[in-house]
Amino acid sequence: MCGIVAYIGNKQAQTLLLEGLKRLEYRGYDSAGMATIEDGHVRVVRAVGRVSNLEDKLEDLGGLRGNLGMAHTRWATHGGVTEPNAHPHRDDKSGVCIIHNGIIENYAAIKTYLAEKGHKFTSDTDTEVLAMLIGELYEGDLEAAVQAALREVTGAYAIVVMCEKEPETLVCARKGSPLMVGVGNGEYIVASDGSAIVSHTTQAFHLDDYNVVKITRSGFHTSTIHNVPVNPKVVQLELELQEIELGGFSHFMQKEIFEQPKALRNCFRGRCDIDEGRVVLGGVSGFTKELIKARRVVLTAQGTALHAAMIGEYLIEDLAKIPAVAEYASEFRYRNPIIEDNTVVVAVSQSGETADTLAALREAKDRGALALGVVNVVGSSIARETDAGVYLRVGPEIGVASTKAFVGQVAVLTLVTLFLARRRYMSGDMCAQMMKSLQGVPEKIERILEQDSKIRQVTEKYIERENWLFLGRGYNYPTALEGALKLKEISYIHAEGMPAAEMKHGPIALINEGMPAVFIANRGRQYEKVISNIQEVRSRGGHVIVVATEGDENIKRVAEDVLYVPDIEEPLSPMLTVIPLQLMAYHAAVLRGHDVDKPRNLAKSVTVE
């Protein structure tokens, strides 16, 4: 959530900062602002709403000049969505100016202290408090003032600070919220992620927690908040500019749904040795013995990633014969979890920065668990803090509603399961057969995508209905949860996902005439049971939409609408059955006139608890 971009170099900052903000719009925000140092003075412009509103306001005011500046998109935490609460914020005395992602938990106490010192506050934010604390501690050295201030705060932060008295300096720091520095030719670009950097340089380094970097045009100096020098590693960004542009699609979500076959081919490349009947995962190979000895696997995640983790739970127990459980990361950390010997904890996240998942991971590591990461973003916090892991390799995901990352997470968890299963109980022939089927998933998804227009037509029939049910059993119970979440996220239709058998234990009371009920009824062990559940809904007037296996003509007798997916082994089926649900959610949002890529109140990367 929120977005940071800052620049120091020889170019005019405004154009580059606006471009960076637009690249970061996918993260979710409700206001935006920019500041530069011009002729020794900080100038700030802020606006409520989209970056385009800020751009219009800048044009009306004649723009901001200067070769050093910062910009921000805010997602409200402390204080409402108002222009005074938008970033950047200034100290009222020293000329310090700051942008900030995260939450300062002890801001109230600090605010009382600063008020007693005579500071006057103009916003309701914790960020303005931090700006004034830095200003209060400023004695001619901005880097030292930032370090001193951060030693006094608790919470999470990624900050960029500049000061009128040091107009050639940026100071940045990070704890808990991502921040990286792009290293160009005589210029530096600071941002929340690589999408705001990649069009200018592909060389960058990530700040670690409690790190502070002072940047001038001549170079940078990195230390801890206690002024202990550190040496960050400059790496090549694994990001292509065309990957974060729309191309010929109307929305990033649409683009990413249709990218899934290519994304999975990239995910599988080099990881399936069918001749030997073995999965090759270099990221976990150093811990093979520990993984084989695992007595329990805990998968922890939030949102869409949790639904992928739930499928992972089914996979690991079914195929690798290891007890497994999927846990809400936000609950795992706070319920005194029992971590026994030979427990493996798998943190699943697209961004690798999800605050709750990161906190759960740290709790599990503190209790002795072997920690694995399943993430998409190279160099992210979870990737750096786990003992080992597997990257999704599905490319950047810009749409707030996750699609290709979900399928990638399920694919990687399947690979991890086969990696374990082959080394425990699964024969080489069976593993090879599963890998062949896995490699056939992209082509099968392409066949489903060919039904896009039909899926739109089905969705349009029910678009006025405000309550939907999504039901599945076994491997496709989590898929039903994911289908309901997608519809809620971007169309704002109330939808509930649940195990199909659970419906008659209460939720069946909600069924009324014409209520859409989406069943996942592909061929599998519980197929006949799902048919019985469909009959229960039909007898109470619900309209049934079924995701079924190709060739199943009998299903038409119990459904108003049928969407077919190719046949595949049941453990692999969620990667197919979720595709029609993604497209239904997308078309529902478009038909209802919503901003698909920027759903209200949501952020792409949730970096605060």
pLDDT of amino acid 603: 61
Give, as one character, the DSSP assignment of residue 168: E
Q: Which residues pair with 494 in a beta bridge?
A: 467
Secondary-structure class of domain 3-242 per CATH? alpha beta
The structure tokens listed for 199 are 């069009």
Task: Kindly list the distances between the CA atom of residue 285 and the CA atoms of 68, 288, 314, in Å, as whole numbers in the listed order.
Answer: 45, 5, 23
Q: Above pLDDT 90, what percent of the chain? A: 70
Domain ranges of the chain: 3-242, 247-439, 447-599
The mean per-residue pLDDT over the stretch 56-68 comes to 94
Distances (CA, A) of 123 to 11, 89, 189: 32, 9, 28
pLDDT band at 607 (very low <50, low <70, confident <90, very high): low
Token couple for 123: 């916003």
Tokens 């990737």 sit at which residue? 383
pLDDT digits (tens, 9 = 90+) for 441-494: 999 999 999 999 999 999 999 999 999 999 999 999 999 999 999 999 999 999
- 583's enclosing H/E stretch is helix 574-591
In this chain, the answer to whether the domains covering 247-439 and 447-599 adopt an identical fold is yes
> Which letter does DSSP use for residue 368 in this model?
T
Query: Does 511 or 261 have the greater pLDDT score?
Result: 261
User: Which strand (E) or helix (H) includes residue 535?
Assistant: helix 527-538
* Sheet with strand 467-472: strands edge to edge: 494-499, 467-472, 516-521, 543-549, 561-565
Share of the chain above pLDDT 70, in %: 97
Element (H, E) at 134: helix 126-137
Q: Identify the band that residue 30 occupies on the pLDDT scale cut at 50, 70 and 90.
A: confident
State yes or no: cis peptide before 599, omega within 30 of 0. no
Residue 594's contacts (CB-CB under 8 Å, 6 or more residues apart) are 490, 491, 492
The string of pLDDT tens digits covering residues 322-357 is 999 999 999 998 888 889 999 999 999 998 888 899
| pLDDT tens, position by position, 147-157 | 999 999 998 89
Six-digit token string for 35: 């500041």
DSSP character at residue 229:
B
Domain 447-599 is found in CATH 3.40.50.10490: yes
**260 vs 337 pLDDT, higher one:** 260
- Classify the phi-psi angles of 58: left when phi > 0, otherwise alpha if psi is within -120 to 50, otherwise beta: alpha
The number of residues in the chain equals: 609
**Mind listing the pLDDT tens digit for each residue in 177-224?**
889 999 988 899 999 888 888 888 888 999 989 999 999 998 999 999
The secondary structure element, H or E, covering residue 4 is strand 3-8
2 is catalytic: yes
| Residue 400 pLDDT greater than 90, yes or no | no
Please write the tens of the pLDDT for every residue from 274-289: 998 999 998 998 999 9
pLDDT given at position 244 = 64
Query: Active site residue: 2, 172, 267, 272, which one?
Result: 2
- Active site includes 604? yes
The tokens of 270 are what?
């080099």
Q: Which CATH architecture has domain 247-439?
A: 3-Layer(aba) Sandwich (3.40)
Catalytic residue among 22, 111, 404, 604: 604
Has residue 243 got a pLDDT over 70?
Answer: no
